[in-house]
Structure 1
């Protein structure tokens, strides 16, 4: 991606009051909430969907279609936001999400539902990847850390409430309301975004790797379709399945060839020369594979085998999520304090394998407490494994590759989720089909429609229901049993992860819930660097003293009020080309008369001059502002001195980004002071 600097029609963070910032944040949270929630909300509803629409063999595709299109959309939406404006892409993504949600709710067969879920995924990817960018566009750097942490917490909470909420809709309304509920919320969100979020575009035109994104999407889709159809629609050795696998290999090989030659590749192949990036990508894939796969099929187990309602099946998954959250937060705290991370994925994958094995032993006679313990073990393993992966990658790549490496690890996690849902589904269907046929022979008089409905199955006498229940239990146990080797592969791979010193500026985010849940992040290296700076400022807890300290270090003779006023003239002239008192007052939502005295007083000095109402810095004024800006740059150097970039070209990119950050800090420096006090 090109080094793009965000430029607003008006300086976004300077223009916004606290109330409006909070309203914007609420709007962004709504978008993130819907997109993240729909990853898991359907899991408790899947048995009812199958009973209503049929197509049990394609049940996993309700999840896979969403995850796959979300992965592709995430890779594309960030660049499109730079090209057309993040606000526009956020709103367009919401419209696409509404269309997919409405179509999913109206679906009359499984194929239409899967298509609708794919459309939803396109919108969800755009919503999630632009959320962090919009935070950067609207929240001042000194406050951004807490907002980023809150957004990450939202992503974590949806993992907890998704299955339960889906169960509530299924039991008390219809599974269709898992999708319908998005429509009014998204409409409200679009209206709020139109009124509150400022339009921000990139000054540089990004280069988008359309060929790379298209080839990897097509290649992965062919591979997933081959795994899905194999043994169900067609025999594994049929020409159809072989053709899908060959097409996948050709398309993925073409993807590699394109990435080796692309000017701005979606996934630079040179990243795989790094041991850390390669290992973390594999582990991210495995963690996503186990997490989404297990969360998709556990509610089905509880409904068919334990005979609980859809709502209770969502509640029953809570031990897994509690274990995941506990070890994610715990390991994050340890990594943030010590900088040691290597043994977390090693222990985590071992515990994950143990949890999967224990869950493969569950059956009709297994008690609730034992099931909860097994899920807790699996969740703890996933949480220990997933926490450090993004943080480690951000510490080992040069600045030029920071965005692509960060988004690359998240991309592999999302792909792992898609493959997990597919392979879990294939194993489940291939085992359930013969088992269920044999069970129905032992339960004469039970039609297949009753066997496919958890609610109808619960009404059967135990003598008739037992063989069918055992068929479902054996099928799901078979799935978990065959996923144990995948977790053990992760255990072996984790030993190859190198321990490297962690940058303090990146370590600060290790304890955030969002990092623990591998929340999709921007591929924009500038925004990621700003995220690191905001973590430093948050960790330092010196937000109110940084500005005055930097002003004193600059050697400038300006007061805080004068520095603020000259900084406003500097920034507004830089963005709009013409600064006036009225324009600056409008940015801060105050009458012209409030700010006029300070600017009139400065015009009488050697720092500021006015002509036909336009304000312009004198040579002395510009020198003073540059002194303050240079002081901010020195402060950034001290805070980011652990970014050791020896390559001259990469160092030049980092220097350019730090210069841009210094200008932004100059603009934001004294905004915490009440505007009236400036006078």
Structure 2
């Protein structure tokens, strides 16, 4: 017998809420795997431009400083200027990401970075080069913060590991390709070192086009209140303290009137910043973030990892070229073991974290490997064989790959969705701060040690000719007599192990911080899904 179904009027059944058509995936705060890959293409290319430009310049610096007749202090400042600007601007970029269109901010950061790079390539003196490197650093600060923030908005912490592996791969390719490309440019007479600043422009242009076509992130329309006063105090305080670290012991004594002025001014600016943040409606760095144990410990570890990232790459290139006599191209090839370790560990750890949802073990193992790598590198001198050096670099790269991205992941998994931008940029900020302090302090240690070794081994004929005392250094390498040139090279080779020993001690702080971090299960919601749930509203449409 055929039964006819009566229309369901709801009178005799449990009432059901009206079913709305499912919104397009772009409006749900989640994206498909294909959409994520498309969106990541432009962002990863932008990061590739930033890392490529940084590594190209790092490897070319010995040639640049020698050509422009710069000093060891200026060598350090070329790196420090970019890190200083990047460090001071990173929290500001992060806060702007919570208030404005993230895609437009990423594009703006790319443009600023490219303009700074082009102008740096036109420099006729080290002082001018340092000035334009500051502008370059402002763009770099935006890129390193905003790409992480955009990824957090699109992808859940549980799934982010597999995509963080892609970011690690891009970094590895840029880190390998940068020194090699920089070496080829420097060694090619009709191009020269200036093209190290121009080479990223075509990649940046493509990145801008890709971002415009593929990146579609929600923009929350709300009243914007920018904490200009807090940003000003933060920049002033960080700049004063980092400039002091860079100049003290070189331009003036550690215990001097200048030191007192820098420390007093920096401390007052930091205090004013903290007071401002407690009263600002939209603080640049919400102080409530530091109430969370994971965030605070991850930030402490990031400072130490920053020393590992920047200190190793900056002074390793100088060691290979100045002390060991390798060309820029060969120096780039010799860093492949470190980059290979970073590539493998960041990719594999990301995949395993996504599969099993556990992340603390990789942080602990990675931080221990960083300490071990630096400890091994502390044994090198001007005669160290390249085979063990390659092994030491592989150990260090493996440790950095397992810790750098996963520290950001741990913080993003913990904080509220509305604080993702500020928290992500805070980790990047303190990592850059560690790098800036590391380069400055390690540069001062290296300069002091080199001066001592030169003074002890200066040939009698050079002293009799008035070549001096321990003041001979990198600036004299091109014009000094052959015996003095050899002494400078040997001194740099023997002094380099000292800075890696200091780095190992600093990296031990990261181990202690990571061990104390409490592991929290990875969330399965993207940043936009969490923001929608926490605010009780539908996720905003993408643009």
Q: How does the TM-score come out when normalised to structure 1?
A: 0.65
List per-residue Cα deviations over 1:420-478 (Å, max 9, x = no partner): 22222221222223433544435748989997389969x987x6654332211122122
Give the alignment's Cα RMSD to 1 decimal: 3.9
Aligned-pair distance for 1:39?
A: 2.9
TM-aligned CA distance change 1:176 to 1:495, over 3 Å: same
Residues 270-309 of structure 1: pairs in structure 2 closer than 5 A = 270-309=288-327
Give, in whole Å, the separation in 2 of the partners of 1:488 and 1:178: 35
- When residues 373 and 437 of structure 1 are mapped into structure 2, their CA distance, relative to the original with a 3 A threshold, is same
- Structure 1 residue 330 and structure 2 residue 208: aligned? no
Post-superposition CA distance 1:129-170 (Å, at most 9, x none): 55577789999xxx9999887556434432332222222222
| Partner residue, 2:109 | 93
SS in 1 for 2:282: coil
Establish whether residue 429 from structure 1 lines up as the match of residue 307 from structure 2: no
Q: Is residue 2:122 matched to residue 1:244?
A: no
Q: Report what 1:625 is aligned to.
A: none
Deviation of residue 176 (structure 1)? Answer: 1.3
1:599-618 matches, cutoff 5 A: none
Q: CA deviation at 1:22?
A: 9.1
> Is residue 322–residue 492 contact of structure 2 (8 Å, CA) maintained in 1?
yes
Contact 2:346 2:401 (8 Å CA) reproduced? yes
CA distance 1:311–1:451, change in 2 (3 Å): farther
Contact 2:88 2:235 in 1 (8 A): yes
Task: Look up the match of 1:203.
Answer: 221
Residue 443 of structure 1 contacts residue 467 of structure 1 at CA under 8 Å; is this kept in 2? no
Q: Map of 1:146-295 to 2, 5 A cutoff? A: 150=166, 153-172=169-188, 173-186=191-204, 202-295=220-313
Pair 1:487-2:511 in alignment: no
Alignment of 1:67 with 2:83, yes or no, is: yes
Matched with 1:470 is 490
After superposition, the C-alpha distances for 1:311-360 in whole angstroms (9 at most, x for unaligned) are: 11111111112222222333333433333333433333333222212212
Which of 510, 516, 519 is the equivalent residue of 1:496? Answer: 516
Q: Which of 64, 67, 70 is equivalent to 1:52?
A: 67
| Structure 2 portions without partners, runs of 5+ | 1-23, 28-33
Q: Which moved more, 1:56-65 or 1:401-410?
A: 401-410
Answer yes or no: is the 8 Å Cα contact 2:60–2:183 preserved in 1. Answer: yes
Superposed displacement of residue 260, structure 1: 1.9
1:75 to partner: Cα distance: 2.7
Aligned to 1:529: 527
Deviates more, 1:79-88 or 1:473-482: 79-88
Relative distance call for 1:71 and 1:466 in structure 2 (3 A) is closer
| Bigger Rg, structure 1 or 2 | 1
CA–CA distance in 2 between the matches of 1:468 and 1:338? 52
What aligned pairs does 1:319-468 form with structure 2 within 5 A after superposition? Answer: 319-441=337-459, 444=462, 452=474, 466-468=486-488
Count of aligned pairs between the two proteins:
505
**Inter-CA distance 201–221: structure 2 relative to 1 (3 Å threshold):** same
Tell me: CA distance 1:162–1:399, structure 2 relative to 1, closer, same or farther (3 Å): same
In the TM superposition, what is the alpha-carbon distance from 1:368 to its structure 2 partner? 0.8
Q: Alignment partner of 1:208: what SS?
A: coil
Specify which structure has the bigger relative contact order, considering alpha-carbon pairs within 8 angstroms and separated by 6 or more residues.
2
- Supply the distance in 2 between the matched residues of 1:51 and 1:156 (Cα, whole angstroms): 28
Q: Does 1:38 align with 2:53?
A: yes
The answer to whether the 8 Å contact 1:307/1:454 transfers is no
State whether residues 13 and 138 of structure 1, in contact with CA within 8 Å, keep that contact through their aligned partners in structure 2.
no
State the match for 1:563 in structure 2.
Answer: none
TM norm structure 2:
0.80
Contact 1:443/1:465, CA 8 A, preserved across alignment: no
